A and B are shown apart, each in its own frame.
Chain A
Amino acid sequence: MGSNLDALTTVFTEFYYWLTVALMFLIHVGFCMYEVGASRRRNHMHTLMKNSMLIPLVTVTFFYFGWWIYWAFPNGPFINGGILWDDAAANSPISSTMGTNLGDRITGVFWAAFLLFSWTAASIVSGSVIERINSGAFWILAVVIGSGAWIIDAAWGWHYGGWMVQLLGYHDAYASGVIHAIAGGFALGVLVVLGPRIGKFAADGTPRNIRPHNSWMVCIGLFCIYTGFWGFYVACNVPIIDPGGIGGLITGETWTATTIYLTPTTLGAITVNFLMSLSGGMLAAFMVSKGDAFWTYSGGLAGIIAASAGNDIYHPIQAMIIGMVGAWVAYKMHHWVERRFKIDDAVGAVAVHGYAGFAGLIIAGFVLWGHPSSPYEGYASINPLGQFVGAIIMFFVLGFLPGWVVAKILHSFGLLRIPKQVELLGLDFRSTQEQRAATAEIREAQKSEI
């Protein structure tokens, strides 16, 4: 920190990212409430622990190798160059910048913001597979997406030097694809192998609606996700940087907030667009679901997710209309895929995150056609084909495929799905019985004192 202005900028940036991390915790609180609310009473505690334990597992693995991958693989590797050993070395678990280091105040908070995205990616998958997956199998899948697949996609398409940005003009400022489409695709890959919950489909294939045991809790969980989403959004920005710090084509002395690609935007723009896309999503979802609370809240999320690719640039009304399209796509696709392919996505995660994110990427390609994807020279500009190829890479190549392959491997070892008897009894059956016995014993002891 050379001057007081440098010091202020650095400490502001450090505090800014720290705050996003604290806010993003609410996403995980929301996911836990939402999943437990959607599960039936006999599965509560297992559902809660399945989601909760991804926190330590993804955190540790992200520290060991996830963060290294982000800095090592922007070129593929071997698509647009080799492994970036020097950049990666500064972010490896043995780098001095990963510990307390008065010369680097940003790496730690930046790591943590990325980590919270990792939790989100894994948590999206968690909801779709409730009530029949082995927790141990899920935790392996959580590490694969949380510290593997998603961070590879971030290196490729969510890094100022990522090959997808350079060659395809890929633009995904608030992660329609790099978090949501990939997690939705991954969940779908797992669901294809895992199969539906017992009783989900009638003999003729008609889907049955397994209602959430507590609709209130599900909706408040989604509300918490909305709240945490504020942290997610601002964490996707660089809060303040001078053109010299960017080192690209921008001239002059005007400092700015930027996206992860270092393209200029404003906090005001993303705040308005966030709210307008949320509103568009809720309005459309209420309409298409005929007032269903679960789908209206989910539609709000789908709205934000669909507009996220370009919410750094859109006009607010464009964000609202795109949000409406995202919610409509999510609702319609969920029910069509459920009926047609007998996919039991317990919370609609594939639809809300996967299909809405996929649609949002495609839309951004048309609406932002020709806008520069980077402040650096020689990068492709944003275009529909680049966004379409990007959406395929996110949803299928880095999402569906790894999810399906790892689930197949786990299934081949008999590790993926819980035994049928356990599913019928409920995952919490044993602990509930023990609890009842303990309560009865205490009651008897109390009675003996009368």
Chain B
Amino acid sequence: MTTTGIESWAVDLAEVGAIYPFQGTEWLWVIIGLATWIGWHVWCVNWEKSYHEEKIQQFGDKSKIEEALEED
């Protein structure tokens, strides 16, 4: 059993093509990758929103903003 389709290197390389594991499941990998990518964006926009809201709650009053402007 082999995941790559190559059992042994007793082959003529001119007759060998793809050697990556689990050939034939490319669509599954594409879907997993796509879900990961889209999922990352969804997570990111939500996280960033709550991150900014938290900052505003902590430091968003007028005096703290004025203080920050002085430091800049």
Contacts and interface: CB of A to CB of B under 8 A. Distances in A.
A231 to B, nearest CB: 24
B30 A371 contact: no
A248 interface: yes
A-B complex: 3 closest residue pairs judged by Cβ atoms: A370-B2, A252-B12, A254-B13
Q: Which of A256, A286, A320, A372 has the most CB of B within 10 A?
A: A372
Contacts of B59: none
A250 to B, nearest CB: 5
Given A287-B43, A313-B20, A251 B11 contact: yes
Contacts of A313: 4, 19-21
B3 to A, nearest CB: 5
B45 interface: no
A368 B4 contact: yes
A145 B3 CA distance: 35
B35 to A, nearest CB: 11
A99 to B, nearest CB: 36
A219 interface: no
A8 interface: no
A77 interface: no
A372 B16 CA distance: 14
Contacts of A253: 14
Interface in A338-390: 367-372, 374-375, 377, 381
Interface in A302-342: 313-315, 317-318, 320-321, 324
Count class of interface residues, chain A? 35 or more
Interface string B21-49: 11000100110110010001001100100
A243 to B, nearest CB: 7
Contacts of B26: 315
Contacts of B51: 290-291
B68 interface: no
Nearest to B40: A283
Interface string A204-218: 000000000000000
Contacts of A315: 20-22, 26, 29
Contacts of B36: 283, 320-321, 324
A250 B16 CA distance: 11
A59 B16 CA distance: 41
A249 interface: yes
B52 to A, nearest CB: 12
Contacts, number: 94
B40 A287 contact: yes
Contact of A371 (B2, B29, B32, B47): B2
Contacts of B4: 313, 368, 370-371
B9 A320 contact: no
A314 B18 CA distance: 10
B7 interface: yes
A263 interface: yes
Interface in A253-278: 253-254, 256, 263-264, 269
A257 B6 CA distance: 17
B28 to A, nearest CB: 9
Given A314-B20, A317-B30, A263 B3 contact: no
B69 interface: no
Contacts of A254: 12-14
B3 A252 contact: no
A44 to B, nearest CB: 25
19 contacts: A249-B8, A249-B9, A250-B10, A251-B10, A252-B11, A253-B14, A287-B40, A287-B43, A287-B44, A290-B51, A291-B51, A313-B21, A314-B21, A315-B26, A318-B29, A321-B33, A324-B36, A371-B3, A371-B6
